[in-house]
Amino acid sequence: MNELVEAAKAAPLFNPLSPEFIRDPYPFYQQLRDNDPMHVTPFGSVLASRHAEASLVLRDKRFGKDFVDRSIRRYGPEIMQEPVFRSMSHWMLQQDPPDHTRLRGLVVKAFTARRVEDMRPRIQQIVDRTLDEVIPHGRMDLIEDFAFKLPVTVICDMLGIPEEHREAFYRSSREGGRLLDPVPLSKAEIAEGNAGNAVSTAYFQHLFELRRKHPGDDLTTQLLQAEEDGAKLSHEELTANIILLFGAGHETTVNLIGNGLLALHRNPDQLALLKARPELITNAIEEFLRYDSSVQLTGRVALEDIEDLGGRRIPKGEAVLCLLGSANRDPAVYPDAPEQLDITRANVKPLSFGGGIHHCLGAQLARIEAEVAIGTLLRRLPELKLDDPDNPEWRPTFVLRGLKRLPAHW
């Protein structure tokens, strides 16, 4: 395993955990697109860095997740004894049809555009309360004191997690991002993943007891009813998918808000434009997603031999990693200065929420959360300035791209 990590470090084109890459992956992406758009990593996966191949792979039925076989190929059969891997193997995110269709079908109605739009007043209330608390202080960390509270509170509401249980969860929910990175995990990282999984599993069993006794109008109650119906959902699937729903929207949405605010403040003309024309916020959020996506990569496995994908043969079982952040800046799709932030850009269709059957379930929710958070911040604190926009501190993960902190004052 360690030789693989060393090999990744030496690879010049794709070294995703190096400090340079974490700070600014975009020059590396450009090199990949220009010189080796279907680059083979030291782990034998193919990196699709152009929009054409990345978006095709996400939508093509010849590709799937194949999670268990892929994990066994990478780590050996004993990996499926690790509780965190067993849990992940039940996530809808890691399933292929027909199980994927069944699991997603159980929750999809809670995330429709209409249901999510109905949540806007509650989202506004959370943002306003957060700002009421911090405004008198004259300064805050936009990540911990502002962006972080919103998605975690919203998903706690949706899952029916009682207010008095939330504090402990708030602190634990931003760990585990390394599990997604495309570099093999060390034993210590797997152990850490198991520990986090054990804490979440124990809590959710407690919540299940509570909701069995006192059903509510929430997703947990809904899924418990599906489990009782028998064929629809096993207990392991129930627990794993509640953990997925709880985790999937946190750091991703925090990072959309954080990366968006950083991009705006580094482009003062765009910041001034959005303050002057707040109605541009919806398009601005799409542009933030495109410009610096909070999810940089997602993968698929070839379910059959594929003779030609971007000039390369992909044998059955090979993984193709779709570089969403690179596809979002591909000049073939965005011919007009793709490296620049332009909140008025027309036809922005970022790949940041993926595509095909796994297209992000929470996409519309995340958009509205970011719209309300950034729109309200600009309205209520127009004089806010970042302490140090030129030297932001990034979190050390690659797939989930976001800031550790973003101190600001007014």
- The DSSP element (H or E) to which 403 belongs, if any, is strand 403-405
Under the binding rule (CB under 6 A), the answer on residue 354 touching ligand HEM is yes
Q: Write a three-state SS string for 112-152.
A: CHHHHHCCHHHHHHHHHHHHHHHHHHCEEEHHHHHHCHHHH
* CA 80 – CA 69 distance, rounded (Å): 10
Of the candidate residues 39, 50, 90, 104, the single one contacting ligand HEM (CB under 6 A): 104
Of the candidate residues 274, 366, 403, 406, the single one contacting ligand HEM (CB under 6 A): 366
Under the binding rule (CB under 6 A), the answer on residue 401 touching ligand HEM is no
Under the binding rule (CB under 6 A), the answer on residue 333 touching ligand HEM is no
One-letter identity of residue 10: A
Residue 152, Cβ neighbours under 10 Å: how many? 22
At closest approach, how far in Å is the CB of 8 from ligand HEM?
Answer: 21
- Of 167, 366, 161, 113, which Cα lies nearest the Cα of 251? 366
Of the candidate residues 295, 319, 403, 406, the single one contacting ligand HEM (CB under 6 A): 295
Stretch that binds ligand HEM, among 24-32, 226-234, 307-315, 349-357 (CB under 6 A): 349-357
CA separation (Å) from 204 to 159, 161, 163, 201, 361? Answer: 10, 9, 15, 5, 21
Question: What x/- string results for residues 207 through 236 when contact with ligand HEM is judged by CB under 6 A?
Answer: ------------------------------
Under the binding rule (CB under 6 A), the answer on residue 249 touching ligand HEM is yes
DSSP 221-284: HHHHHHHHTSTT--HHHHHHHHHHHHHHTHHHHHHHHHHHHHHHHHSHHHHHHHHH-GGGHHHH
Stretch that binds ligand HEM, among 36-44, 200-208, 232-240, 352-360 (CB under 6 A): 352-360
8 Å CB contact between 393 and 403: yes
Of the candidate residues 244, 274, 309, 373, the single one contacting ligand HEM (CB under 6 A): 244
**Structure tokens belonging to residue 240:** 């794993």
Spatial CB neighbours of 372, under 8 Å, sequence gap ≥ 6: 120, 123, 124, 127
Of the candidate residues 248, 285, 374, 378, the single one contacting ligand HEM (CB under 6 A): 248
The DSSP bridge partners found for residue 385 are 409
Of the candidate residues 127, 179, 360, 373, the single one contacting ligand HEM (CB under 6 A): 360
**Structure tokens belonging to residue 153:** 């509170």
User: Which one-letter DSSP state was computed for residue 78?
Assistant: G
Residues 158-187 contacting ligand HEM, CB under 6 A: none
Stretch that binds ligand HEM, among 23-31, 162-170, 271-279, 361-369 (CB under 6 A): 361-369
At closest approach, how far in Å is the CB of 335 from ligand HEM?
Answer: 24
Under the binding rule (CB under 6 A), the answer on residue 298 touching ligand HEM is yes
Q: Which residue's CB is nearer to ligand HEM, number 127 or number 209?
A: 127
Under the binding rule (CB under 6 A), the answer on residue 256 touching ligand HEM is yes
Q: Which residue's CB is nearer to ligand HEM, number 224 or number 360?
A: 360
- Binding residues (CB under 6 A) for ligand HEM: these are 58, 92-93, 104, 151, 155, 244-245, 248-249, 252-253, 256, 294-295, 298, 352-354, 358, 360-362, 365-366
